[in-house]
Amino acid sequence: MRTFRFDLSPPMRFWVLLLLYAAELTASLWLAYELRFDFLVDPKFQHERLFVLCWLIPLQLVLLGLFHQLNTLLGYFSTPDLARMFHALTIATVIAIVVWGIWGEGWAPPRGVIVLDFVFCLVGLTGARLALRTFRESLTASSKKSGQRRRRVGIIGAGDAGAVLAHQLSLKPGYGLEPVAFFDDDRRKWHSRVHDISVLGPPEKLLDVVAKLDIQEAIIAMPSAPAKRVGEIVRILRKARLPCKTVPSLDQLALGQVRVSQ
């Protein structure tokens, strides 16, 4: 059975995003008029809505393109993308307000419609992109054999390195590793969750739960930790009889001291 592919060619990706955005922007403006007039839009404003659609939607699409939102990969969406999308829609909203201030209604939507449209556009486009990202991640996870037994892993370090590691291991069962718990020296992180994985306490806590959670391996994801503390953690893992790996720092990768594959 063939599955939907996200690695489309640039022209195809452009048209997919263009049609997706155009449909969402049109629906947002239409709904903004309906809510502004309690779903009883006067014929005068119905004609105005059609006229506004003809210039506001193309303007929004052009601005989204200028902010590189029509050439992004379909299955990827992050905070920088959201920021660029926000800036593009904000500029379009400001232009609509200026048009309303100079030429008045008939040329631009009422102010209430402009505000509602901005909110609906931002929420709708963000939701659409997040839905594509979630779909891509679900396809990635399901593409691996679910029957393969995975080694249960405890991650030492609930910072950025540990969070990225846990996310990647969860998305790619083919690595054969399943993160089941975090351990961190920062008390503020204890009893919280990172990517739906519990932060149980300090690394010393691992000795108490290794058998209960059936942890079979540990990964030290504390690239900025002092060597002394890393040594202490290694001794804890030896005491628990757990094999361990370490996540290197970016400096080690940049200097070629450690390969990415390792």
Residues 60, 56: Cα–Cα separation, whole Å: 6
Task: State residue 56's pLDDT score.
Answer: 96
Residues 204, 192: Cα–Cα separation, whole Å: 17
The total number of residues written for the chain in this structure: 262
CATH of domain 151-254: 3.40.50.720
Q: How many CB atoms lie within 10 A of CB 261?
A: 4
What value does the CA radius of gyration of the chain take, rounded to a whole number of Å?
Answer: 25
Residues 127, 139: Cα–Cα separation, whole Å: 18
Cβ within 8 Å of residue 203, ≥6 positions away: 156, 183, 184, 185, 232, 233, 236
For 245-257, how does the pLDDT look when each residue is reduced to its tens digit (9 = 90+)? 888 765 555 555 5
For 151-205, how does the pLDDT look when each residue is reduced to its tens digit (9 = 90+)? 899 999 998 889 988 988 887 777 888 999 999 999 999 999 998 899 999 999 9
Largest distance between two CA atoms of the chain: 78
In 3D, which of 17, 259, 249 has the Cα closest to residue 132? 17
Q: How confident is the model at residue 78 (pLDDT cuts 50, 70, 90)?
A: confident
What is the pTM assigned to this prediction? 0.68
Question: What crossing angle do the helices spanning 160-171 and 111-142 adopt, rounded to 10°?
Answer: 60
- Judged against a pLDDT cut of 90, whether residue 37 lies above it is answered with yes
Contact 24, 125 (CB under 8 A): yes
**φ, ψ dihedrals at 195, nearest 5°:** 50, 40
Contact 81, 129 (CB under 8 A): yes
The whole-chain average pLDDT of the chain stands at 87
Distances from the Cα of 25 to the Cαs of 55, 128, 247, in angstroms? 12, 11, 43
Residue spans of the domains in the chain: they are: 10-142, 151-254
For 121-149, how does the pLDDT look when each residue is reduced to its tens digit (9 = 90+)? 999 999 999 998 888 777 766 555 455 67
Q: Is 182 exposed, middle or buried (0-12, 13-18, 19+ CB in 10 A)?
A: buried
